[in-house]
Amino acid sequence: MDYIKIRFGNDFECLDPRFEEIFRSMNPMFTLSERIWEPQMDIYETRNDIFILAEMAGVNKENLEIEISSKAVRIHGKRPEALWNKGTYRLAEIQYGKFERTLFLPVLINMDKVTASFLDGILNIRLAKMPRETRKIPISD
């Protein structure tokens, strides 16, 4: 039986420089260049409204834009880079830089009745659904 060789150590800075290239080819998350990320969101609806909750910790309201059409919502902006860059990172999972998310809605919305609030890093958007109209159509002979 062949065994897989595993290298243990506490100093990853001295690894072969090709190590980072291997991870870059496997997953673009390991690249250091600026990329667009997508915040996590929930969408739920009631009889009259659609609600969107977006997790945006560390984003300033001034760096946040919401665009709404009758069928879609686009949320975009930027989370500033971390201010604590004096040390060596051992784990870096928080995403920084530009973000964008476009959500297509299941029904038409009334764009005159849209509200948004931002509290404790959570964006809350309320979209009023357009009332469904029904008409009686006369049948001709």
**Which domain CATH number covers 41?**
2.60.40.790
The torsion of the CA quartet 62, 65, 66, 72, rounded to 10 degrees, works out to: -160
pTM, full prediction: 0.67
Kindly give the residue spans of alpha helices, DSSP state H, lying in the chain. Answer: 18-26
Give me the pLDDT at residue 34, please: 55
d(CA 31, CA 20): 9
CB neighbours of residue 109 within 10 Å:
22
Q: Among residues 37, 39, 36, which one has the least CA distance to residue 52?
A: 39
Give me the pLDDT at residue 19, please: 47
**Residue 28 domain-assigned?**
no
Low-confidence ranges of the chain (pLDDT < 50): 1-16, 19-20, 22-32
Residue 111's domain comprises: 35-82+95-131
Residue 104 Cα distances to 67, 74, 101, 115, 125, angstroms: 12, 9, 10, 17, 14
Domain count, the chain: 1
